[in-house]
Amino acid sequence: MPGVVFFVKDERARYVLVNRTLARRCGVKDKAELLGRSADEVFPSSLGPLYAEQDRRVLRGGATLENQLELHLYPGRQPGWCLTHKQALRDANGAIIGMAGISHDLPAAQSAHPAYGRLAAVDAHIREHYDQPLSLADLTAIAGLSVAQLERHCKRIFQLTPRQMIHKARLGAASQLLAGDAPITEIALRCGYTDHSAFSRQFKALTGLSPSQYRETHRQPRKA
């Protein structure tokens, strides 16, 4: 399953079981090379902190992550979108002894679905107008569907909720703009966020880094 990453970690967030896809994307030939190591030791600094913080939430508080939209490593160690699930593992007494997780690459839209035409119009509207306020009412009007129908068909066709589709479009645009020199407040407004703090919260939730940290990590060195 080349588009699926699977792993099990111990109580200290160290890998005890990984699949071949994870090993390849981390740049190692043998799965054993990842065992005993943590996420922030094997992933680049642009992604490792996010995964390490997620692991702490699961292992310390028993939190469960479901359908978490985030960036992951695609083949060639390039960033790509995925949906992640993480859950604590417990012993017979209920104590947390580790965790298991799985990340699915976002697949191509299911164009054969009967509602694809309507949902493609919604997707296009989001990608063209992510810099403006977008509401579920707007999207349902475009699709000619109820909120429940829109949610269901978006999940079936794009594997995302409508709100996740909006976040993906906005954060994708923001990550490109952060490669330049525009002020972060300006980038927030250009990507449809009402203020700097709202943008920063959402950006960190999906990338693990604040916009300024992401900019420093991904900034290309200037030529002399």
Give pLDDT tens digits for 108-132: 888 889 999 999 999 999 999 999 9
pLDDT at residue 131 in the model = 95
The average confidence (pLDDT) of the chain is 90
Distance separating alpha carbons of residues 69 and 111, to the nearest angstrom:
21
């593992």: which residue's tokens? 89
For the cut 80, the answer to whether the pLDDT of residue 1 exceeds it is no
Q: 2 falls in which pLDDT band (50, 70, 90)?
A: confident
pLDDT at residue 68 in the model = 86
Q: What percent of the chain has pLDDT over 90?
A: 67
H helices then E strands: how many in the chain?
10, 5
Q: Which residue segments constitute the domains of the chain, with CATH numbers given? A: 4-105 (3.30.450.20), 116-218 (1.10.10.60)
Q: Which two tokens stand for residue 166?
A: 């909006």
For the cut 60, the answer to whether the pLDDT of residue 163 exceeds it is yes
For the cut 70, the answer to whether the pLDDT of residue 36 exceeds it is yes
pTM for the model: 0.75
Instruction: From 121, 88, 110, select the one nearest 160 (Cα to Cα).
Output: 110
Distance separating alpha carbons of residues 134 and 219, to the nearest angstrom:
30
